[in-house]
Amino acid sequence: MIHSLFLINHTGDIFLEKHWKSVISRGVCDYFLEVKEKAVEPENVPPVLQTPHHYLISIYRDKLFFLSVIQTEVPPLFVIEFLHRVADTFQDYFGECSESIIKDNVVTVYELLEEMLDNGFPLATESNILKEMIKPPTILRSVVNTLTGSSNVGDKLPTGQLSNIPWRRAAVKYTNNEAYFDVIEEIDAILDKSGMTVFAEIQGVIEACTRLSGMPDLTLSFMNPRLLDDVSFHPCVRFKRWESERVLSFIPPDGNFTLMTYHVSSQNLVAIPVYVKQNISFFETGSCGRLDITIGPKQTMGKMVEGLMVTVHMPKAVLSVNLTASQGNYTYDLATKVLVWDIGKLNPQKPPNLRGTLSVQSGAPRPEENPALDIKLKIQQLAISGLKVNRLDMYGEKYKPFKGVKYMTKAGKFQVRT
Amino acid sequence: MTTMQKLLQLPVNAVNIVKTVQSQVQGQEEDKSPVLTPDGGQQTWYNALQPDELRHLRSGGSGGGFGGGGGGGGGGDQEERAVLEEGGGSFQNQPLRHDDLKEMLDSNKDSLKLEAMKRIVAMVARGKNASDLFPAVVKNVACKNIEVKKLVYVYLVRYAEEQQDLALLSISTFQRGLKDPNQLIRASALRVLSSIRVTIIVPIMMLAIKEAASDMSPYVRKTAAHAIPKLYSLDPEQKDQLIEVIEKLLADKTTLVAGSVVMAFEEVCPERIDLIHKNYRKLCNLLIDVEEWGQVVIINMLTRYARTQFLNPNINESLLEEGGEKTFYGSEEDEDEDDEDKDKKAEVATMAKRKPYVMDPDHRLLLRNTKPLLQSRNAAVVMAVAQLYFHLAPKAEVGVIAKALVRLLRSHSEVQYVVLQNVATMTIKRRGMFEPYLKSFYIRSTDPTQIKVLKLEVLTNLANETNISTILREFQTYIKSMDKDFVAATIQAIGRCATNIGEVRDTCLNGLVQLLSNRDELVVAESVVVIKKLLQMQPEKHSDIIKHMAKLIDNIQVPMARASILWLIGEYCEHVPKISPDVLRKMAKSFTNEEDIVKLQIINLAAKLYLTNSKQTKLLTQYVLNLAKYDQNYDIRDRARFIRQLIVPTEKSGALSKYAKKLFLALKPAPVLESPFKDRDHFQLGSLSHLLNAKAGGYQELPDWPEAAPDPSVRNVEVKESVFTLLERVTTLTSVPEWTKCSSREKRKEKKVEKPFYSDSEGESGPTESADSESDSANGSESVSGSEVSGSGSESEESEEGSESEEEEEEEDEEKDKKKKKKELKKKPVQESESEQSSEEEEEERKHERKSKPRKSDSETESGDEEESESESSQSESDESESEAEVKKKKKAAQSKPPAKPVKTDGKKEKKEMSLLDLDDFEPAPSPQVTPVNSFLSSSLVTDLEGLSLSDSVLSPATIAPSSALKSYELLHRITGEGLSVEYCFSRQPFSPDANMVAVQIQFTNNATSDTKNLHMEDVKLQSGMRVKEFPEIELLPAGETTTAVMGIDFCDSTQAANFQLCTHTRKFFVSIQPPVGELMRPIFLTENEFKKEQGQLMGMNEITERLTLDVKCRNEHTIVQRVTTAANLSRVPCGSDKECRFAGRTVTSSSLVLVTVATKEEGAAQLTVNCEKMVIGTMLVKDILQALTQ
């Protein structure tokens, strides 16, 4: 399966290599680097490349390329999914997944890679098992380690690999037992020029954080599970139970995990929380343009809209902007031509407005397309689909855990065409 | 011997070291196995060797005095390293540093060693050469510190291939590890040992793998499976031996091993599909519990397997499709296909009539067991299931994958990229599937270009008459995009839509023509090219467009576009006779400055004009040809010469020139604008080969469906050997003929019922126990909701759901015949049962009682029954459980419905509402507080039981009378049934038409004022493998009357419900029958000795023991026996001790033995033991009996 892995930064330096079978020269990356040079954006590098003797499958995460070398037929998604899992693990261990942090923890990274794959086939990918074998570095531990000479590698044998529920550590103990669930919904929408909804849907995810002793068996039920159209679960969820009763029954992993993701059925109309009035125009003469954006509340269910942010990818010809914002402030990155307007809380009485002029490179043709606006927003304490958790029950353990459910609505891929 | 010899033929420098111990080892070897058995002696040689000799070795190696090969190699390495490091622009003093590291590695302090190893591994990670440190590192392989050890392993695996001889020194450590009592150490030793790519140790690896493959620990076996492909890549000659190991591991029953061994199978011997037969059903059943990566590999393999073993479920439709494709233009084909979609059902029905297709139950099993995995969080798993459904499922069922694939589009862009490629291929074959998700493929300006283009492809494939207007509107926004490559792709997409959909051809053409005035040259050029293709379809109608384009020639600079315009004018010069010579004139002027493709088209244009309009263009043509004659490009010179000969008649010109006109002005077929994804599905979807559209190395072709299905019996698994022989023995002993003759089919079913691992653990963990028993209600709700897909998931094995009514009718006819026979047969068992009865008179009495007060008993049972029916109805209305308040509201609503209907409901309704409101919990599974009786129970016991019985009213007044009071369950409540109430009970009588069926006695009471006619069953929905023998139709049930009927259900030893519709002449009701686990068995007689013998064979996993405290009322033998036999249909086994009660039975379908022991101790303490080969049944039975004994 996966033969070798190379980590490449965005400038094209290979800073880590790992081979699970015999060594493959890093020269194989040249094919990839060539394609990468040609592509304008790093995202545009095709994830699968063919070279005379190998296939290269890569992902782009956090400004790093994870490039794997394959020699024989393998489902490409298998590799891609695995590479993302590797990146997730790094993120989980080190808090971020950047070149410098990987270089700083190169030994841990190497140990992780060694455990995650055996002969190119995934071996241990559950973070709970990995953490049992290789402890994540913390400042405290590194201090202790240097003083006592003890190590990051767990000295107990990782029994998690043997269990039927590999996602949970054995013998978990907490003084405070708690289980928190965040229901986060994202609105994906495309609005057209006139503010009409071209396409809108709600995608939700339930993030859980459980710190429960022993082997608790949880049951989470919804008031209105009918809303859920399409779901995908963490492996711990018993699918049969969901099929028959529409409740989530599971023995949770320890710590943070994504319990489920769901899609709200398309019959339900999606409430769009804000309206956007915009006018972006470029004049035929005089090499300048005009921009005017107003955002106001639409269907917010009486909640405050926060974290409002508008991102505009300006045409390449726009040299600079001269705008005034009635609320919040804006930045314009000259190199990437991205205009970001950070509004903050939405004031329903006085809808925030951004207006001013754009100066266009003289001589360049008038930009054909008006740039689309990407909107980010957050609404606390509201699941826009109306999904409600009914109750959470715990079996299998005696103590009473502290339980909590939080709702949040965010803008997902929320785009306004202009 | 050979092993050792090979091992001992060490390279020069290693021999020196090993020599000292050689004699020792050989001495050992003579009396022991050929392996380096890591006994005490072994250890000493290693230990003795380790500290001193290795140090010699190291110093020798670096000093160059130690054996030529090693020293030379080391020197070479050092040079290499130097080169490398200079290239990297790093340290000059590296050799010194390495000495530094060596010193640290030699020290006694673990912390120093660790530090050194960390630095070395960091070098390895950066790709620096650290091979000269090998001797220093390798001797730390036995270090106590785990982290040091692990890092040494990392290093060792990396460099062992380069330093084979030195690597051998570490082998014995691993061999010792292989014998460690701790499974994790055994596994890790095998893992590292097999990762060392040194050919000389192949025999050792082989032995280690073989040994590990029969290790007790599944984790070690898993590691063995991982080691197989490693060894195979090292030495392909071991293939035959490895296949043996694979075969052995394939038979493994744990989820841990399944994924890894299938992976090994795929790498070593993917062609040996015959190895899968026996494990097919097990793999299907385990699948859901295998870890996600293993799932992917297994599903892909099973897809291939299924393609070789089963028949094409779409065989009839594919014939049809071929018919459709014969039409030339896409548009017509589309119409065909569309009609096809609409009338699919009808067509399937007609086709089915011609050639009935019956799906193999194993095929169904695969589809059913993979479906839940569409919900996996792992995109690779979802894709694997999707491709399985695409390649294997009947057309009507493929739709389920669309939703899951669309979900993946929310994932990372790389995932999107792969998924979209596959969706694009799918949309060509099965467009209808993704049509509802059209909008999910709309493009955002922030998508990467490759994603945009793929989405565009999908949108184009999805376009049809109904949605084309929205799609075109969407395309309009895309055309304005800043990403010009994407715009070009959009224009091509519009072109394809236009060719495929006749209605919008003109609209598209107009749109494209408008684009001709776009300021961006690329857009215009692309439009020209597309318009050219479109015009070729109907040139007559569009001479004005051609004229318009002729004008454009002045402005467009893109060569391809200019060439296209010229070609168009030349081709259709007769439609634009005035303009064309003028264009040629302009072109002749600019000829020398044009690009090559344009020049060629100018020559073409000239030639065509010369042929049609030589008067005006003769000179121009000659001028152009002369220019071309001296062109720099030889293609153009050739073309000019050729054309001159062809069109200008001279004496020398041959016969060809006569046909010049025909040659040039031949009618050319319009180009077909095809999707690049057409026919890509001959590659297995989701594979690398599919993505690249080229066969990748190691790709296994997806075989075509076989014409005729190979023998399905190859997949039959003999019941685990021991049990099977045991069964045989039992049957010879007891000489009960019925279940010895279990057919292959029964065995197969038995396999199927076997629950995967997870569900077992569910059974054990307290709160979820109900999960299994409740799954049937899901089926209920599924079938009720009537969704085609889910319904077909649980369809019966005999007929595919799609294959419709006619067939069913035929079957029904047959069935009716059978029923007649059954009626005749029925009398027999009745008599038997009566004879078994304690006394017939008693029965008579009871009948009278019931007749006199049917109402009363009804209300007695009401609360319990109400519970069930309500939960059913609320589930059928919506498969959700809402808050209590809401449910109550709903119930009220449901209550108010029936009275609105003409059926008369009297005052009793109020009573019912009361009981309804009391409900605060609903449990679909009927609780097994049953009071049945076994034939051997004394009559006094029977009378005792009658007092406990909740519902003796169920007992039939008609011919069939069960031996005693039985718990009855409600099938249809009076209110939901609009006057018809139906109850059922398990009569515990053998069902004579089919011994594998459980007899279910159904009692119908007509409480309405009007007669009910034609009571019968329809639309039976079952889990596969289950069968139902319907009760004979009841033609008339007068008002107020009660009647009973008996039906048989083969539950396949599962507690899955049988769902069907109960039909009267006016209405249909969805109902379901679910058996308590205790009803799935029948009593058998065993002697005490036999019992003990059988119990001895069913130990370990098959034994479940539970401690309990007996209920106060239940402390004598008598009550225990009574309660156990009430809970389960078992018979008592005579027993010497009065502290133990034993019971025996066999499951109805598979005749698996069920043994129950209740051992009592002081003060109500007791121990319950259930031995049953079917763990699920055992677990559930324990639960039920426990409940019965403790309440």
Q: Who's near B844: CB < 8 A, 6+ residues apart?
A: none
How far off is chain A from B563, nearest CA to CA, in Å? 26
The pLDDT score that the predictor gives to residue A58 is: 92
The pLDDT score that the predictor gives to residue A69 is: 93
The pLDDT score that the predictor gives to residue B44 is: 37
A204 CB-contact burial (10 Å; exposed 0-12 / middle 13-18 / buried 19+): buried
Residue B404 and residue A230 in contact, taking contact as beta carbons nearer than 8 Å: yes
Residue B778: its chain A contacts at CB < 8 A? Answer: 240, 243-245
How far off is chain B from A275, nearest CA to CA, in Å? 19
The pLDDT score that the predictor gives to residue A182 is: 94
The answer to whether the CB atoms of B442 and A190 lie below 8 A apart is yes
Instruction: List strand residue ranges (DSSP E) for B388-481, in order.
Output: none
Helices (H), B134-217: 134-138, 146-159, 164-167, 171-178, 183-195, 202-213
Q: Which residues pair with B1015 in a beta bridge?
A: B1034
- Could you say which residues from 674 to 693 on chain B have a Cβ atom under 8 Å away from some Cβ of chain A? 686-689, 691-692
What is residue B789's three-state secondary structure? helix
**pLDDT digits 0-9 by tens, B1124-1164:** 888 888 888 877 777 788 888 888 888 888 888 888 887 77
Which of A51, A197, A240 to probe the B interface (max B CBs under 10 A)? Answer: A240
- In 3D space, the residue among B1027, B1023, B1093, B1022 whose CA is nearest the CA of residue B1060 turns out to be B1022
**pLDDT digits 0-9 by tens, A289-311:** 888 999 888 877 788 888 999 99
pLDDT of B936 > 60? The answer is no
Q: What is the separation of C-alpha A367 from the centre of its chain, rounded to a whole number of angstroms?
A: 32
B767 vs A16, A121, A395: nearest CB: A395
The pLDDT score that the predictor gives to residue A184 is: 94
| Dihedral (CA of B387, B388, B392, B393) sign | negative
- In 3D space, the residue among B604, B756, B735, B790 whose CA is nearest the CA of residue B1176 turns out to be B756
How far off is chain B from A252, nearest CA to CA, in Å? 14
Q: Tell me, what DSSP letter sits at residue B695?
A: P
Q: b vs e for B955-981, b when ≥16 Cβ sit within 10 Å of the residue's Cβ?
A: bbbeebbbbbbbbbbbbbbbbbbbbbb
C-alpha angle with apex B793: B791 to B795, nearest 5 degrees?
A: 75
* Cβ pairs bridging A and B (under 8 Å): 306
The pLDDT score that the predictor gives to residue B24 is: 44
Q: What is the mean pLDDT of residues B104-117?
A: 83
The pLDDT score that the predictor gives to residue B355 is: 57
Amino acid identity of residue B602, one-letter, is: I
Residue B1125 and residue B1132 in contact, taking contact as beta carbons nearer than 8 Å: yes
How far off is chain B from A153, nearest CA to CA, in Å? 6
Measured distance CA(B165)–CA(A9) in Å, rounded: 37
CA distances from B383 to B276, B289, B377, B387, B687 (A): 22, 18, 11, 6, 10
Residue recorded with tokens 């899901």 = B778
Least confident of A71-85, B82-96, B535-549, B989-1003: B82-96
Q: What is the mean pLDDT of residues A137-165?
A: 59
Measured distance CA(B573)–CA(B620) in Å, rounded: 15
Residue B693 and residue B682 in contact, taking contact as beta carbons nearer than 8 Å: no
Which of A22, A77, A117, A242 to probe the B interface (max B CBs under 10 A)? Answer: A77
pLDDT of A67 > 90? The answer is yes
What is residue B548's three-state secondary structure? helix
Measured distance CA(B882)–CA(A245) in Å, rounded: 11
Residue recorded with tokens 């073989």 = B210
Amino acid identity of residue A97, one-letter, is: C
Phi-psi region of B1045 (alpha: psi -120 to 50; beta: other; left: phi over 0): beta
What does the mean pLDDT of chain A come to? 85
**pLDDT digits 0-9 by tens, B408-446:** 888 899 999 999 999 999 988 888 888 888 888 999 888
Q: H or E segment at B847?
A: helix B840-852
Q: Which residues pair with B110 in a beta bridge?
A: none
How far off is chain A from B131, nearest CA to CA, in Å? 13
Q: What is the mean pLDDT of residues B517-528?
A: 78
**pLDDT digits 0-9 by tens, B850-905:** 444 444 444 444 444 444 444 444 444 444 444 444 445 444 444 444 444 444 44
Measured distance CA(B883)–CA(B895) in Å, rounded: 18
The pLDDT score that the predictor gives to residue B1073 is: 84
The pLDDT score that the predictor gives to residue A158 is: 58
pLDDT of B324 > 70? The answer is no
* Sheet strands side by side (includes A247-250): A247-250, A217-222, A389-395
Minimum CA–CA partner of B439 in chain A: A199
Q: What is the mean pLDDT of residues B796-805?
A: 42
Measured distance CA(B305)–CA(B284) in Å, rounded: 12
pLDDT of B795 > 80? The answer is no
Q: Who's near B903: CB < 8 A, 6+ residues apart?
A: B978, B979, B1008
* Percentage of chain B exceeding pLDDT 90: 6
How far off is chain B from A337, nearest CA to CA, in Å? 13
- In 3D space, the residue among A222, A234, A237, A203 whose CA is nearest the CA of residue B878 turns out to be A222
The pLDDT score that the predictor gives to residue B898 is: 44
Measured distance CA(B127)–CA(A25) in Å, rounded: 9
Measured distance CA(B1121)–CA(B1183) in Å, rounded: 16
Q: Who's near A29: CB < 8 A, 6+ residues apart?
A: A6, A8, A14, A56, A67
Residue A149: its chain B contacts at CB < 8 A? Answer: 109-111, 114
| Dihedral (CA of B210, B213, B216, B221) sign | positive
Residues in chain A: 418
Measured distance CA(B167)–CA(B195) in Å, rounded: 12
- Could you say which residues from 99 to 158 on chain B have a Cβ atom under 8 Å away from some Cβ of chain A? 109-111, 114, 118, 121-122, 124-127, 145-147, 150-151, 153-154, 158
The answer to whether the CB atoms of B417 and A246 lie below 8 A apart is no
The pLDDT score that the predictor gives to residue B53 is: 43
pLDDT of B36 > 70? The answer is no
Q: b vs e for B1126-1155, b when ≥16 Cβ sit within 10 Å of the residue's Cβ?
A: bbbbbbbbeeeeeebbbbbbbbbbbbbbbb
B72 CB-contact burial (10 Å; exposed 0-12 / middle 13-18 / buried 19+): exposed
Q: What is the separation of C-alpha B477 from the centre of its chain, rounded to a whole number of angstroms?
A: 39
Give this complex's ipTM: 0.91
CA distances from A97 to A69, A85, A135 (A): 21, 12, 17
pTM: 0.64
CA distances from B176 to A162, B25, B180, B1035 (A): 22, 14, 7, 79
Residue A204: its chain B contacts at CB < 8 A? Answer: none
pLDDT-based confidence at residue B653 (cuts at 50, 70, 90): low
**pLDDT digits 0-9 by tens, B219-259:** 889 899 999 998 998 888 888 889 999 998 998 888 888 88
Q: Tell me, what DSSP letter sits at residue B703?
A: P
The answer to whether the CB atoms of A368 and B383 lie below 8 A apart is no
The answer to whether the CB atoms of B477 and A315 lie below 8 A apart is no
| Dihedral (CA of B537, B540, B541, B543) sign | positive
The pLDDT score that the predictor gives to residue B1087 is: 80
Measured distance CA(B19)–CA(B34) in Å, rounded: 18
Measured distance CA(B82)–CA(B1122) in Å, rounded: 87
pLDDT of B656 > 50? The answer is yes
Highest mean pLDDT range out of A185-199, B759-773, B951-965? A185-199
Q: Who's near B47: CB < 8 A, 6+ residues apart?
A: none
Helices (H), B269-326: 280-286, 292-309, 315-325
Q: Which residues pair with A364 in a beta bridge?
A: none
Residue A200 and residue A235 in contact, taking contact as beta carbons nearer than 8 Å: no
Amino acid identity of residue B1093, one-letter, is: K
The answer to whether the CB atoms of B777 and A244 lie below 8 A apart is yes
Q: What is the mean pLDDT of residues B525-529?
A: 82
The answer to whether the CB atoms of A47 and B417 lie below 8 A apart is yes
The pLDDT score that the predictor gives to residue B1007 is: 81
pLDDT of B738 > 80? The answer is no
Measured distance CA(B672)–CA(A371) in Å, rounded: 35
The answer to whether the CB atoms of B442 and A199 lie below 8 A apart is yes
**pLDDT digits 0-9 by tens, B351-368:** 444 556 778 888 889 998
